[in-house]
Structure 1
Amino acid sequence: MTRFDVVFAGGGMVGLSLAVALARSGLTVAVVDRETPEAVLDLAYDGRASAIALGSKRILEQAGVWKHMDGEVSPIWDIRVVDGHPLRGVSPLFLHYDHTDLGDEPFGWIIENRVTRQALQKAAAETDGLTQFAPASVMRLDRDPDMATAHLDDGRTIAATLAIAADGKFSTRREEAGIKISGWDYDQTSIVATVRHERDHQGVAVELFLPGGPFAMLPMTGNRSNIVWSETRDAARRFMALDDAQFLSELKQRFGDWLGEVDLAGPRFSYPLSLQQAERYTDTRFALVGDAAHAMHPIAGQGLNMGLRDVAALAEAIVDAHRLGLDIGSASVLRQYEKWRRFDNVLLAAVTDGLLRLFNNDIPPVRMARDIGLAAVNKLPPLKKFLMRHAMGTVGTLPRMTRGEAL
């Protein structure tokens, strides 16, 4: 048996971000992940890119991760939200967020998940106190009032003061702890692909609401954009079955010609969409973070950002307790984390679900009402600025890392 302060089940982007932050603050951390670092960096592993808000960038900076992304991030300078139809075109009424309304900082950055994972692995390798067990799986997690003990599939045993489940929305450790989830399936699939285009996107992100679901065009480096195209499950299955030429033809019909000629720049991926919330985020010597605690539709591009906000809140609660010589796995420490994060996560999940239901509707009166609503918000600078700041993750009572301060 080996002993650590914290043991993680799962070493994805949220889990490893928190593990690095804790280890850099003087705790000993074990990360158990079934995938090797080489496997998660393969081009075929994950075709997604994520929007990293300003608050999340600060978290990654304080964790020593952002410096390893140099040259691989694309700033979002403008966001345009518009209603549309593959055949009728786009509505003349829209919502436009301009970064100059708030200052010189971009709203966020689009970063390939592969790049984020690569930066996390580099940060982990240079961080003392962090040990990765990969490939390995936690087969059973025993918890009592004094200790959490992880039994691995290779026979090793890890004892820790606190166990953290960062093993995704189908979390085995959450189920093992008896923590129920609530939510629903959207009967939608997100089709993800990267395209190369003729003209420079100039840092403009576009969210086009179509009858089948939102179609996002996210600016990447090198005259590329990441497409996040939500469709009903049956329609997505048909689109994924098309050959590249047929698929590109369908994509162009939605993408338009605003960036000139468009071509596929990599393989296609698909991901089923659902909403879920864990009934609680903590248990005896145990905490959930990221998708293990909450998962939402990508309509607002906030999934990873919400996970990173979990990182900042839980890291602060743990590190403060550690420095005071307190029990980092105590109920009071974990209660502080849950109180900090649960309302924000539930609220955003409700907002994204409401947006999806409002825009995933082609009834003419509803379509007209929401178009007028978008145009009205566009003409209300105070409301627009609040929404922009919220999207940047700089609203509310913020943990130190989110403010750009050291743990």
Structure 2
Amino acid sequence: MQLKADVLILGGGFAGMTLAVALDRYNISSIVVDTSDPIRMLEKGYDGRTTAIASSCWKLLEAIGLKESLEGKGCPIHTVRTSDQLKAPDLCFESSKDNPSGYMLENRYLRQALYEATLAAEHVTLLQPAHAVETERRHDGVSATLADGRKITASLLVGAEGRASPTRQAAGINLTGWNYNHAAVICTLFHEKPHHHIAHEIFYPKGPVALLPMQDQEGRHRSALVWTVPRQEAEAVKNLPERPFFAEVTRLTGGILGKLDFASHPTAYPLSFQFTSKMTDLRLALIADAAHGIHPIAGQGLNLGLRDVAALTEILVEGRRLGMDLGDAILLERYARWRSLDNFAIAAGTDALVRIFAVPGKVASFVRRVGFKAINNMGFIKNFFLAEARGDSGKLPRLLTGNSL
């Protein structure tokens, strides 16, 4: 059996499915090949994590038709407070209520919305679970053979399989990366006091602790906890009994949310950094974690991937309108130029933050707090950082502004 589409997307995670749904709105067909079992993937306990989605990326999701399915499920972030070990001054970024800096969304809601949109899309074929055992990129097109013998042909191959992307590896694209001596202990907490839509990030030499606001559940206040610990301590921290776990979180956060309880139990994820030498090759484009994987310190990981999606969608739609082959090197070069600098700047910035706040000692802490005070007194710098957090800086793809192409 042979299948044909304009674009072959290997990887049906958030970025891969978002790209397929976005292209569908402009009559560009795609086939998404993903190894996940859809029944298990949609189970409530499959992924209990939450994701901070920048306001520009939220506009992208709404622009491709997910507004109704995500309505009321994302918790707006109106204020971001950052401090060095709870010492004054803190760094405060405030957004207007009608233009929050972002939204906290449970991964399961986004996965369900994208899955349903993919199934409903006229020009998307979702093959799941499925696995490509062989891919070939030629000057006249790309092809893939699946494990069950089906063959797929397309004009462009998109690698969206995540950090261990076999598509990137097969293309021989070099990767720079390292493991941090950190792991993120993640869970959802019920808490006594309302969060008032404030996201807190408190930096310690061992790693930051973040409390991120979520929608109330059954009348109880909720927040997501991202507690960065030394990698060798992750299992011990994750498995702490409730009383010492909550006591330590309360100490590290200054008890700002009052009495705590588990809404979901902790899991731990090792943290690493990786960045590709290039995002494109012959009839190939890499998006999201297949091209870049960063520390979650600034909550920009998924947002970078969605910005890739918005840029690639715009370039392919414009190429189609001009009658160009969607795998044309000119289009891919434009995508690489558009996204490489932004991705590098964010990746380098987050890595620098990790290293700056990891420096121990009173002098280092004093210098950081002097920096906080200076930034608080310079509105144009605060506005720059807030624009970066929202994803509003630089030349934006139109989908990130909520507009159609």
TM-score if structure 1 supplies the norm length? 0.96
Corresponding residue for 1:106? 100
- Alignment of 1:5 with 2:45, yes or no, is no
Corresponding residue for 2:373? 375
State the distance in 1 between where 2:379 and 2:350 align.
22
Is contact 1:68–1:122 with CA below 8 Å preserved after alignment? Answer: no
State the distance in 1 between where 2:268 and 2:320 align.
42
SS of aligned partner of 2:313: helix
1:335 pairs, out of 299, 310, 333, with: 333
State the distance in 2 between where 1:370 and 1:64 align.
43
State the distance in 1 between where 2:126 and 2:386 align.
38
Is contact 2:119–2:126 with CA below 8 Å preserved after alignment? Answer: no
Amino acid at match of 2:350: T
State the distance in 2 between where 1:332 and 1:301 align.
32
State the distance in 1 between where 2:137 and 2:168 align.
13
Amino acid at match of 1:179: I
Deviations 1:95-129 (A, max 9, x none): 011114xx731111110111111111121122111
Corresponding residue for 2:66? 65
State the distance in 1 between where 2:318 and 2:48 align.
37
Corresponding residue for 1:153? 147
State the distance in 1 between where 2:99 and 2:129 align.
39
Corresponding residue for 1:224? 222
Is contact 1:165–1:287 with CA below 8 Å preserved after alignment? Answer: yes
- Alignment of 1:141 with 2:135, yes or no, is yes
Corresponding residue for 2:93? 97
Size of the aligned set, in residue pairs, is: 400
SS of aligned partner of 1:213: coil
Deviations 1:50-86 (A, max 9, x none): 11111101111111123211121100011100011xx
- Alignment of 1:277 with 2:269, yes or no, is no
SS of aligned partner of 1:315: helix
Runs of 4 or more, structure 1, over 3 Å off, are 243-246
Corresponding residue for 1:87? none
SS of aligned partner of 1:58: helix
SS of aligned partner of 2:331: helix
Is contact 2:33–2:132 with CA below 8 Å preserved after alignment? Answer: yes
SS of aligned partner of 2:308: helix
Q: CA deviation at 1:37?
A: 2.6
Q: CA deviation at 1:327?
A: 0.3
1:23-34 aligned at under 5 Å gives the runs 23-34=24-35
Corresponding residue for 1:303? 301
Is contact 2:160–2:290 with CA below 8 Å preserved after alignment? Answer: yes
Deviations 1:122-172 (A, max 9, x none): 211221111100011111211111111111112111111111010001111
SS of aligned partner of 1:267: strand
1:354-373 aligned at under 5 Å gives the runs 354-373=352-371
Identity %: 40
Deviations 1:10-43 (A, max 9, x none): 0000111011101121011100111123322223
State the distance in 2 between where 1:247 and 1:140 align.
47
Note the residue ranges of structure 2 that are not aligned, 5 or more in a row. Answer: none
Q: CA deviation at 1:281?
A: 0.6
State the distance in 2 between where 1:239 and 1:277 align.
29
State the distance in 2 between where 1:160 and 1:331 align.
15
Corresponding residue for 1:19? 20
Corresponding residue for 1:234? 232
State the distance in 2 between where 1:252 and 1:61 align.
36
- Alignment of 1:190 with 2:190, yes or no, is no
Note the residue ranges of structure 1 that are not aligned, 5 or more in a row. Answer: 85-89
- Alignment of 1:55 with 2:56, yes or no, is yes
SS of aligned partner of 2:155: strand
Deviations 1:288-325 (A, max 9, x none): 00000001000000111111100010001111111221
Q: How large is the RMSD of aligned CA atoms in angstroms? A: 1.3
Q: CA deviation at 1:382?
A: 1.5
Corresponding residue for 2:114? 120
Deviations 1:331-373 (A, max 9, x none): 1111110000000000111111111101112221111100111
State the distance in 1 between where 2:253 and 2:34 align.
37
